[in-house]
Each structure stands twice: as structure tokens, then as C-alpha cells.
Chain A
Amino acid sequence: EDQVTQSPEALRLQEGESSSLNCSYTVSGLRGLFWYRQDPGKGPEFLFTLYSAGEEKEKERLKATLTKKESFLHITAPKPEDSATYLCAVQWNFNKFYFGSGTKLNVKP
């Protein structure tokens, strides 16, 4: 049973073409939902933490939102340097984490 599901698996955008990535989760007792960025050959890099439904966080061209069962990462007017794999993770049972398998974003100039 998948606890965290990300879609789409891959997304190709033209520079400036806005879109959204989805993360749905089934765990109960959510303590936090996280978004990370991972570049090839590197470890994930923290982007956002969301705690409760209705919460939103923004950073440059990225905006993360949270509902009761899913989160969205909105990318506004992306640039080629936004190309990376974006990972969603949930913290539950105080100390444990489930990660999704990621969305690989490719932004073409």
C-alpha cells in the first residue's frame, strides 16, 4: 500500500509554461509534509514544510499548498535551472518518513 504517491512521474515544460506537481498521501497522524529538490548525483535539498490543510508556502517561482489528502507544488514561469526531480515526503508516527518516488521536471529553453 503506497503511503505517498507523486504525479506525474515526469513533466516536460517550455520555459515560462506554468504547471503543478501533485503529491497525495494516505498516512494518518501527519506531522508534516515536505518538498525537496534533488539534482542528479546529489542529495535532496529541503524546500518547504507544510503542517496543516490550507497552509501555503512560497519561494521564488515555487508555491506549495496542502489539503487534507494531497499537496501541490506550483511552478510559475519556470526556468531551465528549475529542472530537477522534486520529492514529496510525509512525517508520521513522530519520527518516521515516507517519500514519494518523485516527479522529474525538465524545463526547455
Chain B
Amino acid sequence: EAQVTQNPRYLITVTGKKLTVTCSQNMNHEYMSWYRQDPGLGLRQIYYSMNVEVTDKGDVPEGYKVSRKEKRNFPLILESPSPNQTSLYFCASSFSGRAYEQYFGPGTRLTVT
């Protein structure tokens, strides 16, 4: 089954404790992206990757890191989480082409206390 998986689905952590949210896709997609979704603000792009070892900032990259060492995986790293990073996070992937029809993962709900 074609899918994007994220782990964990739910996470409660404390300020400053480094964490990683994993994202994996099995569709051989070149493009992968991370978003956060907050009430009233919609989905905002954090980082994206065009292919292995190629990443770039989205609209709200501060406080986040990413890496793309393998085509299928695109982890999101919060090195020192803060309460304002409490949010619902989505990973997405697509083929690159004229326009990118993204497939989304199920989401990771993160709470930073």
C-alpha cells in the first residue's frame, strides 16, 4: 500500500529535550516536506527536500532541522523544543514535475510543556 508514515503519532515532552519525528514514504517520491498545522493559521511549510541531500527552508523553519540521507526518509529534528512548537505536524511527499500533488502522513501531535 502506498503511504507516508510518521512516528510517533503523539508526543508530550519538556522544554529543551531534543526530539526527532520520523517520516517515511514508499512511493519513490523525490519531493518531501514538513508542515505544522495550528488553529486559524492553516498548514505552514517548515522545510522541504527536492531529493537526497537537497533541503531548503519553508515559511517557518526557525527551531527545526531536517536531513535527507535516504530518498524514503525525511526526519524532523527539534534540538531544543519550546512551548510555541506545540502543534500538529504533517509530513508529505510527491513526485516532482509541473505541480506537486502531495500525499500526507497521518500527523504527529506534539505537546511541549
A residues near B (Cβ < 8 Å) are 4, 31-32, 34, 36, 41-46, 49, 51, 87, 89, 91, 95-102
What 8 A-B pairs come out closest when comparing CB atoms?
A32-B99, A43-B104, A101-B42, A99-B43, A99-B42, A44-B104, A49-B99, A46-B101
Is B105 among interface residues, defined by CB-CB distance under 8 A?
yes
B66-113 at interface with A (beta carbon < 8 Å): 90, 92, 98-107
* Minimum CB–CB distance for B68 against chain A, Å: 13
Q: Contact at B45–A97, with CB atoms within 8 Å?
A: yes
Bits for B32-54, please: 1 = Cβ < 8 Å to A, else 0: 01010000111111001010000
Most chain A Cβ neighbours within 10 Å, of B40, B103, B104, B105: B104
Per DSSP, are chain A's interface residues mostly helix, strand or loop, or mixed? strand
Asked if B43 and A87 make an inter-chain contact with CB atoms under 8 angstroms apart, the answer reads yes
Tell me the complex Cα distance, A32–B98, Å: 8
Measured CB to CB, the closest approach of chain A to B111, in angstroms, equals 16
Chain B residues whose C-beta falls within 8 Å of the C-beta of A51 in the assembled complex: 98-99
12 A-B pairs within 8 Å (CB atoms) are namely A34-B99, A43-B106, A44-B43, A46-B103, A51-B99, A87-B42, A89-B43, A95-B50, A95-B56, A95-B100, A97-B33, A97-B100
Contact call B99/A95, Cβ cutoff below 8 A: no
- Which chain B residues lie closer than 8 Å to A43 at the CB level? 4, 90, 92, 104-107
Does any Cβ of A come within 8 Å of B59's Cβ?
Answer: yes
Q: Nearest-CB distance from A65 to chain B (Å)?
A: 16
- With a CB–CB cut-off of 8 A, which chain A residues contact B105? 43
Residue from B31, B44, B45, B105 having most chain A Cβ neighbours under 10 A:
B45
Query: Is B45 within 8 A of A96, CB to CB?
Result: yes
